[in-house]
Structure 1
Amino acid sequence: MWWIGVGVGVVVGVVWRNVVGRGEVGVRGRVVVVTGCDSGIGLSLARHARRWGFTVVATVLQEEGAAADILRREGVVVVMLDLRHHHTFTTLTTTLHNLHLDNQELWCLVNNAGVMTFGQCEWQTTAQVTAQVQVNLAGAIHLTSTLLPTLRRNKGRVVMVSSPTGQVGTANMTVYCATKAGIEGFTHALRRELAPSGMSVVLVRPCNLPNRTGIMRSTGVQLREMLENAAEETRQDFGAAMTEAGKALEQAFGGVEETQELRDDRLMHCFRCALLSTHPRLSYSAAPWPVTLALDLMQCLPSAWVDVLVAHGIYSWVLGFAKNK
Structure 2
Amino acid sequence: MEEFAVSFWIYIVVMSMFVGGAMKKFLALHIGALPSVVAWLGVTLLVERLCALCMPAVLARLVLCVSCWLYFSWASPKPFLPVEGKAVFITGCDSGFGNATAKQLDAMGFEVFATVLNLEGEGAKHLRRVCSSRLTLLQVDITQPQQIQQALLETKAKLGMRDLWGLVNNAGWCVNIADAELALMSNYRGCMEVNFFGTITVTRTFLPLLRQSKGRIVTISSPSGEFPFPCLASYGASKAALNLFINTLRHELEPWGVKVSTILPASFKTGQSSNPEYWEKQYKNLIQNMPMSLLEEFGEDYLTETKELFQNYAKTANEDLSPVVNTIVEALLSPQPKLRYFAGSGLTLMYFICSYLPLSISDRFLQKLFVQKKVLPLALRKQQGLSPSDNNNSIKENLNNCNSFTKIID
**1:263 paired to 2:320:** yes
Query: What SS does structure 2 have at the residue aligned with 1:169?
Result: coil
In 2, Cα distance between the equivalents of 1:12 and 1:181?
39
- 1:309-320 correspondence to structure 2 within 5 Å: 309-311=365-367, 313=368, 320=407
Question: What is the TM-score with the length of structure 2 in the denominator?
Answer: 0.68
In 2, Cα distance between the equivalents of 1:47 and 1:188?
28
Q: Percent identity?
A: 27
Greater mean deviation of Cα atoms: 222-231 or 71-80: 71-80
Q: 1:126 maps to what in 2?
A: 185
Shift of 1:271: 1.4
In 2, Cα distance between the equivalents of 1:161 and 1:302?
28
Q: 1:88 maps to what in 2?
A: 147
Shift of 1:130: 1.0
1:4 maps to amino acid: V
Query: What SS does structure 2 have at the residue aligned with 1:105?
Result: coil
Of 188, 197, 208, which residue of structure 1 is paired with 2:267?
A: 208
Q: 2:347 maps to what in 1?
A: 291
Question: What is the TM-score with the length of structure 1 in the denominator?
Answer: 0.85
Q: Is the 8 A contact 2:113 2:136 kept in 1?
A: yes
Q: Is the 8 A contact 2:95 2:270 kept in 1?
A: no
Structure 1: gaps (5+ residues):
none
1:222 maps to amino acid: Q
Q: Is the 8 A contact 2:163 2:212 kept in 1?
A: no
In 2, Cα distance between the equivalents of 1:228 and 1:11?
66
Higher fraction of helix: 2
Of 279, 282, 295, which residue of structure 1 is paired with 2:336?
A: 279
Of 239, 261, 281, which residue of structure 2 is paired with 1:221?
A: 281
For the aligned residue pairs, the C-alpha RMSD in angstroms reads 3.2
Q: 1:180 maps to what in 2?
A: 239
Aligned length in residues: 313
Shift of 1:248: 6.5
Indicate how the Cα distance of structure 1 residues 195 and 309 shifts in structure 2: closer, same or farther if over 3 A, else same. same
Q: 1:197 maps to what in 2?
A: 256
Q: Is the 8 A contact 1:31 1:54 kept in 2?
A: yes
Shift of 1:84: 1.4
Provide Cα deviations, 1:14-36, integer angstroms capped at 9, x if missing partner. Answer: 7556425x221222222111111
Indicate how the Cα distance of structure 1 residues 207 and 111 shifts in structure 2: closer, same or farther if over 3 A, else same. same
Shift of 1:123: 2.3
2:214 maps to amino acid: K
**1:23 paired to 2:79:** yes
**1:50 paired to 2:106:** yes
Of 303, 312, 326, which residue of structure 2 is paired with 1:242?
A: 303
Q: 2:199 maps to what in 1?
A: 140
2:107 maps to amino acid: R
In 2, Cα distance between the equivalents of 1:252 and 1:165?
15
Q: Is the 8 A contact 2:97 2:325 kept in 1?
A: no
In 1, Cα distance between the equivalents of 2:334 and 2:408?
28
Query: What SS does structure 2 have at the residue aligned with 1:204?
Result: strand
Provide Cα deviations, 1:236-268, integer angstroms capped at 9, x if missing partner. Answer: 1232222454466568869x9xxxx95233222
Q: Is the 8 A contact 2:187 2:234 kept in 1?
A: no
In 2, Cα distance between the equivalents of 1:42 and 1:61?
12
**1:160 paired to 2:219:** yes
Provide Cα deviations, 1:44-96, integer angstroms capped at 9, x if missing partner. Answer: 11111111111001111111111111112313211111121111112211121
Q: Is the 8 A contact 1:55 1:104 kept in 2?
A: no
Q: 2:50 maps to what in 1?
A: none
More contact order relative to length (CA 8 Å, sep ≥ 6): 1
Larger radius of gyration: 2
Q: Is the 8 A contact 1:224 1:243 kept in 2?
A: no
Of 38, 43, 49, which residue of structure 2 is paired with 1:4?
A: 43
In 2, Cα distance between the equivalents of 1:100 and 1:32?
11
Q: Is the 8 A contact 1:47 1:71 kept in 2?
A: yes
